[in-house]
Structure 1
Amino acid sequence: MSEPTGGALLVDDRADRMVVTLNRPAARNAIDQAMIGELHAVCDRLEAGPRPLIIIGSGGVFAGGADIAQLRDRRRGEALLGINSRLFDRIAKLPQPTVAAVAGPALGGGAELAYACDIRLAAPTARFGNPEPGLGILAAAGASWRLSELVGRSVAKQVLLGGSTLDAERALRVGLVADIVQEADLLGAAHALVDRMLRAVPLALRLTKLVLDAPGPHPVADDLAQAILFETEEKHERMTQFLERSRK
């Protein structure tokens, strides 16, 4: 059962996953200071009790960007604090996988929140874009490097410099989203994806994410992570079950 956290989010906190709904529909789910604080509280819970996270927007919109009224009044000191970038980096580093279920616009800070998630699913209405230069700023909460990692430098420059938006079909073609599903089925598809994840051993999933996100080649990290997993009961039990099934 989703519960309000103070107005900006609805949180469905389950034993095996968490579902967070961005809940400022009158403001197109713009990411304001209150929402940032509530998302940090979500991170507190998920760091203490690691589970997969699904993020979705209310009212047919993922997030239309940062709250411009608040952003306009920020000065150099606030920029150096990295208010949005620190949050999105924290979400990207959560121990278990994160899924953004995107319907409608995911623009500016909303796009950067989606980019920070491990996997994105899109409704046909989804649109990703970063119009920040038109407001006299840059996309400084991860898009300037995270989008390039996701879709390549050329497409990232089309979005960040050329002002292009990626609709669902193009986002699928360039690999930004994993699948396109009808909006009515979007949350169900996100849950089905998490169900598949949960069939894996949690520690194996956690270490896979950690190694995947490590910078540069990391054969030593691979070996160390594998050494940890080779010593677990889950590894022995899963492989024994596999061998028993294969003999039948």
Structure 2
Amino acid sequence: MESLDSEFQTLKVSETDDRLWVRLHRPEVRNAIDQAMVDELHAVCDYLERNPKILILAGTASQAPSAANPKGSKGIFASGADISQLRERRRDDALAGINSGIFDRVAKLPMPVIAALDGFALGGGAELAYAADFRIGTEELRMGNPETNLGIIAAAGATWRLKELVGEPMAKEILLAGKVLTGRQCLETGLITEMHPASELDAAAEALADRIAAQDPLAVRITKSVFHAPREAHPAIDTLAQGMLFESQAKFERMQAFLDRKKK
């Protein structure tokens, strides 16, 4: 079975049969997303497009206080795009859609994507999280898009994904007035669907992945594709997708198992 070459410089990767953990890892710059990280995320997507698995995106995990580190350390997802690189980019770089291209690819992966969010998820970090199918977080989460304060726009998905996720009024507060949401506010607006203590965030992501993995993988893949199809494609695409699944062996086995359980 093919496995992912995890000799990355900006990501830490671990893998099981049905899921792939990818941690953003540039702690010296609070996991700012630079070109190297974009390139490595493309490599992850290339692998998952060929070998569909659940993807769990996370950042640097929180560390409890210890003798060597008495104050502990806060977790962080991503503080945004790397400003030192962003400062030097010009029109042609913007037109290339460097970040929007990779975030769109993440959103379109065959199997669901979970973003486990702690600490800062700002700018490009927030936009990467918006591209996920599921977002869970901690009370310490701080999420927003401060791009207009830097003289640019949030051009990697926030201007349209955020409105779909939280509605127009709140999206405008974030995009036009620089509002940064706390973890509690993210939960209240539906930007995240679960909130957990930082020490339990990884376990919560695993539990969510377990629930997804318990479903039929082909049905999950097709449901995700149909869900994101344009409105005008429905109901024809639903009917065609159902026709495919009605011929799958998993459909017969799972329905028979359901009927057998009812008889007991």
TM over 0.5: yes
Q: 1:228 is matched with which residue?
A: 244
Distance 1:239 1:4 in 2: 39
Tell me how far apart the structure 2 counterparts of residues 115 and 78 of structure 1 sit (CA, whole Å): 22
1:66 pairs, out of 76, 81, 85, with 81
Letter in 1 for 2:14: D
Aligned to 1:96: 111
Give the corresponding residue for 1:239: 255
Alpha carbons 1:95, 1:206 under 8 Å: kept: yes
Supply the distance in 1 between the matched residues of 2:195 and 2:187 (Cα, whole angstroms): 7
Identity %: 54
Q: After the TM superposition, which residues 37-56 of structure 1 pair with which residues of structure 2 at under 5 Å, given as runs?
A: 37-56=39-58
CA distance in 2, matches of 1:162, 1:223: 43
Q: Which amino acid aligns with 1:244?
A: D
- The letter of the residue matching 1:96 is M
In the alignment, structure 1 residue 209 sits paired with structure 2 residue 224 = yes
Normalised TM-score (structure 2) = 0.91
Note the alpha carbon deviations across 1:55-81, whole angstroms, 9 max, x for none: 000151000000000000000000000
Q: Which residue of structure 2 lines up, in the alignment, with residue 110 of structure 1? A: 125
Please, what is the CA RMSD of the aligned residues? 1.2
Matches within 5 A, 1:122-137: 122-137=137-152
Output the CA distance in 1 between the equivalents of 2:160 and 2:8: 32
| Partner-residue secondary structure (3-state), 1:161 | helix
Q: Give the letter for the 1:183 counterpart.
A: A
> Any idea what SS the aligned residue of 1:18 has?
strand
- Counterpart amino acid of residue 131 in structure 2: A
Residue 183 of structure 1 pairs with residue 198 of structure 2: yes
Are 2:89 and 1:83 equivalent residues in the alignment? no
| Residues 1:165 and 2:180 aligned together | yes
Letter in 2 for 1:125: E
Alpha-carbon deviations, 1:96-140, whole Å to 9, x = none?
000000000100000000000000000111111000000000000
Question: For the residues of structure 2 that align with 1:211 and 1:174, how far apart are their CA atoms?
Answer: 25
Question: In the TM superposition, what is the alpha-carbon distance from 1:3 to its structure 2 partner?
Answer: 8.2
Instruction: State the shift of 1:4 in Å.
Output: 5.2
Which residue does the alignment assign to 2:67?
A: none
State the alpha-carbon separation in 2 of the partners of residues 133 and 141 from structure 1: 13
Separation in 2, partners of 1:31, 1:5: 18
Distance, in Å, in 2 between the alignment partners of 1:65 and 1:103 is 14
TM-score (norm 1): 0.97
User: 3-state SS of the aligned residue for 1:99?
Assistant: strand
Partner of 1:15: 17
Counterpart check, 1:153 vs 2:153: no
Query: Contact conserved, 1:50 with 1:95, CA < 8 A, in 2?
Result: yes
Letter in 2 for 1:61: I
Secondary structure (helix, strand or coil) at the match of 1:238 reads helix
Q: In structure 1, list runs of 5 or more residues that go unmatched.
A: none
The DSSP-based 3-state class of the residue aligned with 2:48 is helix
Bigger mean CA offset, 229-238 vs 4-13: 4-13
- Cα drift, residue 6 of structure 1: 2.7
Where does structure 2 lack aligned partners over 5 or more consecutive residues?
A: 62-74
- How many angstroms apart in 2 are the aligned matches of 1:50 and 1:4? 17
- The separation in 1 between residues aligned to 2:8 and 2:259, in whole angstroms, is 50
Question: Is the contact between residue 30 and residue 66 of structure 1 (CA under 8 Å) also seen in structure 2?
Answer: yes
